[in-house]
Amino acid sequence: MPMQRNIRPMWWHGRFRGCGYRITAPREAILDVLSKSDDHLSAEEIYIKVHTYYPAVGLTTIYRTLDILANMGLIFKFDFGDSRARYELSEGPKGKKHHHHLICTNCNRIIDYADFIDEEIKLLEQTEKGLLKKYNFKSTNHLIQFYGLCEKCQ
């Protein structure tokens, strides 16, 4: 009972193969779920969504795949302080525009914002250069988050 598979090569297939990974139905399903969601999904949430279409896929595979995807840089892994990792597609053909997060410490809601991003990015790049010079630290990524109270919780 082979799973239904999308024959047409997806945008990420090349990169995936290039890293020596095989294209499998669970992996396609996971990336499909991620690319169709605007939320910051947890492993279990992804599992449930994938499970709807492919009940055979196990939670273990979800974790394994997410780990690979994060290491490849196809997705970002976030910690918003609710003791479960959350994932979202990074920039790319299907990725949302680069953004940062506001985290409500009361209701745990996450708000994406991309305003002021340009100035932030500019400053961050400057900082990264400075860090490289002073600490010889080669930054590949950064994280900015604001914690506080959302509109409803104030």
Partner DNA sequence: CTCTTATTGATAATGATTTCCATTCTTAAT
Partner DNA sequence: ATTAAGAATGGAAATCATTATCAATAAGAG
Which segment (53-61, 99-107, 116-124, 136-144) binds DNA by CB under 7 A?
53-61
Binding pattern to its own copies, positions 127-146, x when CB under 8 A? Answer: xx-xx--xxxxxxxxxxxxx
Min separation Cβ 123 and its own copies, Å:
5
d(CA 13, CA 88): 18
63 alpha carbon, distance to own chain's centre: 13
d(CA 74, CA 49): 19
Which segment (56-64, 88-96, 115-123, 142-150) binds DNA by CB under 7 A?
56-64
Q: Report the 10 Å Cβ neighbour count for 145.
A: 13
Q: Is 114 in the site for its own copies (CB under 8 A)?
A: no
Binding pattern to DNA, positions 9-28, x when CB under 7 A? Answer: --------x--xxxxxxxx-
Tokens in use for 140? 């590949």
Kindly tell me which of 83 and 136 has the beta carbon lying closer to DNA. Answer: 83
Helix boundaries (H) for 19-105: 25-36, 43-53, 59-72
9, 58, 73, 81: which one binds its own copies (CB under 8 A): 81
Is residue 66 within 8 A of residue 43, CB to CB? The reply is: yes
Kindly tell me which of 86 and 100 has the beta carbon lying closer to DNA. Answer: 86
- The count of residues interacting with its own copies (CB under 8 A) is 36
d(CA 45, CA 86): 9
Q: Is 60 in the site for DNA (CB under 7 A)?
A: yes
